[in-house]
Chains A and B, each alone.
Chain A
Amino acid sequence: MTKLKEETQKARAGIYAGTYGGQYIPETLMTELEKVDKAFHTLKDDPDFKAELHDLLVNYANRPSLLYYAKNMTEDLGGAKIYLKREDLNHTGAHKINNVIGQALLAKHLGKKRLIAETGAGQHGVATATIAALFGMECEIFMGKEDTDRQKLNVYRMELLGAKVHPVTTGTMVLKDAINAALQEWATRSEDTFYVMGSAVGPYPFPEMVKHFQSVISKESKIQLKAKENTLPDMVVACVGGGSNAIGSFADYIDDPSVKLVGVEAAGKGVNTDKTAATIERGSVGIFHGMKSLFLQNEDGQINPVYSISAGLDYPGVGPEHAALAKEGRAQYVGITDDESVQAFEYIAKEEGIVAAIESCHAIAYVEKVAPTMSKDQIIVCTLSGRGDKDVASIAKYKGVDIDE
């Protein structure tokens, strides 16, 4: 246990853990990565940088986000008290903006004029396009062709914001292929370009950087819950694709052992089927997208096609710190299927009047299962990572409802 803990600490620091993390990326990008690393570690604690970041989070992104007591859900489920951390109420409608503001500020300090990013559901792409517009930077977004088809609204939003959206037609045409394409673009043109990585994945220092900028979620929720209930939560729940909202939701509680941390993966058609994206439950250790972590892959190390109804969770890997937290047993990871998440999409809409992103509904579905097993004096904080407007058309289709887009 001690050794595992030590490894986890290193993975947290993003240094060579031997187990997870690291820098496995073409030489072409290494010098640039060194610059990003240096800038991040110099600026993150710099008072001026922090003030600039704070100002944008408050006055542009609408932080702090609400910690909302879901009274109807709590009463209906009849167990633990449920609080929702409303990242869906941020400007651009998801947690992604927290990280994008941070990284775009770094880009500005590095003198970059152009932002590129990958996106799955489109939320990270929209956030990046938004900040690029605000900062007067060029912006190009890489998005799998499969995802540009199922998230047309977000594609149009990005274009409206002045970004160029590249539908990626290689491989399985989803999030991992978008990351491949964005990395290739960065390798071709890094001098004036910053790659805004959207999830807690990739080579060091990206996982640490994304965690740093997303940790505002748990820093706030801790203070907010203290004010409302004068206690820590018993459980924190968040959905996990690459794991950015989850690591941000967990960050400030990792050293509070009484707080149970639960990451909810997309099980697709079921954890034990081939149509799944449940990386931690089904994956094995591998090296891909710049990091050593857990991946869905075959025995030769070829990355498997993955599946989820949710474009944002449709990823064959997971951030290295989640892999480390799972190994150490500090966090628990569970799978929720398409059907369960769609049911939760309808449930939270009807109970609380909140149309939540299908990604976040994976976390909600788990809360529906676990809350009734807990006592009424216990508290769950569940992160609602994004709003669900983007999903309405595809969920209608999933349910067989014919609506005119």
Chain B
Amino acid sequence: MSNLTEIFKNHKAFIPFVVADDPDFDTTVANIVALADGGADIVEVGIPFSDPIADGAVIQAADLRAFASGVRTKTVFDIIAEARKQTTVPIVFLTYLNIVFKYGYDAFCQKCQALGVSGLVIPDMPYESKAEIMPAANKYGIDIIPLITPTSGHRIEKIAKNATGFIYVVSSLGITGERNEFFNGLKDLVSEIKNYTDVPTAIGFGVYTPEQAKTMASIADGVIIGSAIVDIVAREKQAAPKAVEAFTKAIRSAMDEGTKASV
């Protein structure tokens, strides 16, 4: 088990997401550092997959830019190694199970440990399918971050009770990307999770603006933002790190403001 849970003890955690090698190696390294400098608590790095079935158009397009840059699994590890020279920010990977499976569960988790990557978010690995990766994850102290969604229902108990690191609470049905409306039972969903575990919760999928981040921070222990940042990278390209840092600061202060207001 990693120390991810500790991060949520001080304040509401902000967890931004970037796709590795989008648009290139150096920009991704700089983006990770910029996110850390801007106040991110955990940086989620996406390892591109050819068929990202949980992702919307924005992240699909980022994956394509990364492939155009020639991204390999090894490239992603090199990016993290490079970023590690400049930041100690906690990092988790988001990727699809085939990428991990092909690398080898043991070798992949060992690599994560060596790079200081604390956890894995794998959208196509539900609770029932995680048994095969758990021996390797436990061996190297890597948290497998579970997802709980508005449709999880009776599954919430077993998922929450077995969670480590943090719990990724999916804000609404469907795929990643900007949205104006979220599942209206999010508060109840989070409080049900709290009945079963002390592991912190972070809400993601479709959170796009500082205002939305503030709202989500009032519901859960953390907020995950992906497409909004990936959009900045798409727009600013190599100049992205500066804009990414500014955006991170804006989110950070909106979340802190919300937390103070609710105290």
- Taking beta carbons and an 8 Å cutoff, which residues of A are in contact with B? 16, 18, 22-32, 170-171, 176-177, 180, 183-184, 187-190, 286-288, 290, 295, 297, 299-303
A27 cross-chain contacts in B, Cβ below 8 A: 123, 126-127, 146-149, 151-152, 155, 159, 170
The CA-CA distance from A188 to B174 in the complex, in Å, is 4
A188 cross-chain contacts in B, Cβ below 8 A: 173-175
Pick the contact of B54 from A30, A187, A287 — CB < 8 Å? A187
B162 cross-chain contacts in A, Cβ below 8 A: none
Return the chain B residue nearest A183 by Cβ.
B53
Provide 7 A-B residue pairs closer than 8 Å at the C-beta atoms, listed in order of the A residue. Answer: A25-B126, A28-B173, A176-B51, A184-B53, A286-B102, A299-B102, A301-B73
Q: How large is the interface on B (under 10, 10 to 19, 20 to 34, 35 or more residues)?
A: 35 or more
Q: Is B58 an interface residue (CB 8 A)?
A: no
Given the known inter-chain contacts A27-B126, A187-B173, A300-B72, please indicate yes or no for A288 contacting B98, CB distance below 8 A: yes
- Taking beta carbons and an 8 Å cutoff, which residues of B are in contact with A? 49-51, 53-54, 57, 60, 67, 72-73, 97-99, 101-103, 123-129, 131-132, 146-155, 159, 170, 173-175
Give chain B nearest CB distance to A169 CB in angstroms.
10
Give chain A nearest CB distance to B123 CB in angstroms.
5
* B149 engages A28 (CB within 8 Å): yes
Pick the contact of A303 from B51, B57, B60, B151 — CB < 8 Å? B51
* B152 engages A30 (CB within 8 Å): yes
The CA-CA distance from A26 to B124 in the complex, in Å, is 5
A190 cross-chain contacts in B, Cβ below 8 A: 151, 173
Return the chain A residue nearest B57 by Cβ.
A170
B103 cross-chain contacts in A, Cβ below 8 A: 300-301
Given the known inter-chain contacts A24-B129, A31-B152, A189-B173, please indicate yes or no for A287 contacting B124, CB distance below 8 A: yes
* B102 engages A24 (CB within 8 Å): no
The CA-CA distance from A18 to B53 in the complex, in Å, is 23
Give chain B nearest CB distance to A174 CB in angstroms.
12
* B126 engages A26 (CB within 8 Å): yes
The CA-CA distance from A190 to B146 in the complex, in Å, is 21
The CA-CA distance from A290 to B126 in the complex, in Å, is 10
The CA-CA distance from A130 to B71 in the complex, in Å, is 44
